[in-house]
Amino acid sequence: MSVSIPKDLVGDVPDDSIPALVGVRLLKTDSSTAIFGNYENGDREIRFSPLIPFTHGLHYGVWVRGRRVGSFEIPAVNATDRPELTSVYPSGDTLPENLLKIHLYFSRSMREGQSGKYVTLLKNGKDTVSGAFLDLQPELWNADRTKLTLWLDPGRIKRDLQPNQRLGTPMQRGSQYKIMVSQDWQDTRGAHLSKSFEKSFVTTGKDNLSPVPTRWKLGIPKKATSQRLIIIFGESLDYGLLQEVFSIKNASGATVSGKWSTVMEETQCAFEPEHPWQPGKYVLQIENRLEDLAGNSLKRPFDRDIRSKRPVRTEGRYTEIAFQIP
């Protein structure tokens, strides 16, 4: 946004004198500070673009040669046009006590650095678990600030680290928990969430084991159809990573194009091909960075006991599962 100041208010001024003679200020008790921005000297007007957008709901004044010549208001945000928290993952209602990550999806770009204020974990309907989430600066947002990943404090989850010993794990098995997101959270324009959000779940025991793809089951589609290929994991896996780690190659090694989706509380993935399946051999390629809900990846468990003789599960970048469309 920028504001145009007609030349007849300013008179003829050389480019380099504009900032000395013309200024836009925030209208408040002490309006002595000209705000930072760039001036463009046009034929009939001087256009001022502030470094950051003018703020909704605030009043600004235009000063020329030390005299206020006008003012304007940036209208407040339309209160009916509000952002929503559209989904929260994991979507299941039974989660391991060492759950590592929560993904929040919003309908609009949200303000950063606010999660500590607005997201709380409640135990048994009454006690707020303090310090449950890791306070990260910067927070883990996607580029357009519509998806946020929160980590439950890994120092408290990792066995024998000081936070784990002093404070214990954020969650304990066999308890009821609620993730609560306050309505006060604002989007980048300053509009609040349309409503507050609650997700309830119960906790089961610790999951310290890496997912094992050889135990997964595949639902094989019929040839010459666009039926979905189903991958059944037998446990819920991390939603964020499920979006990224799979691909299907045909016999010649080319990637089969199509759409992936996550179903049944992230215990299954489905792949719908763009073109009907041709009979033949295929390979499901999985990046080994895929994790379950407790941060155990295909490569290694979240916490690996180095005294254990068991080797790191998988080396390399990918695990492959071959299948055939008859």
Q: Which is nearer to other proteins, 97 or 238 (CB)?
A: 238
Q: Which pair of tokens denotes residue 325?
A: 């469309």
Residues 6+ apart with CB under 8 A from 295: 98, 100, 101, 154, 157, 238, 302
CB of 326 to other proteins, least distance (A): 27
- Say whether the peptide bond before residue 138 is cis (omega within 30 degrees of 0): yes
Determine the distance from the C-alpha atom of residue 109 to the mean position of all C-alpha atoms in its chain, rounded to a whole number: 10
CB of 255 to other proteins, least distance (A): 7
Determine the distance from the C-alpha atom of residue 66 to the mean position of all C-alpha atoms in its chain, rounded to a whole number: 47
- Cβ-contact 96, 207 below 8 angstroms: yes
Q: Which is nearer to other proteins, 37 or 92 (CB)?
A: 37
Q: How many CA atoms lie within 13 A of 316 on its CB side?
A: 6
CB of 188 to other proteins, least distance (A): 4
CB of 216 to other proteins, least distance (A): 19
CB of 165 to other proteins, least distance (A): 5
Q: Which is nearer to other proteins, 71 or 200 (CB)?
A: 71
Q: Which is nearer to other proteins, 77 or 232 (CB)?
A: 77
Q: Which pair of tokens denotes residue 90?
A: 């994991």
Q: Which is nearer to other proteins, 13 or 26 (CB)?
A: 26
- Distance of alpha carbon 293 from alpha carbon 238, whole angstroms: 5
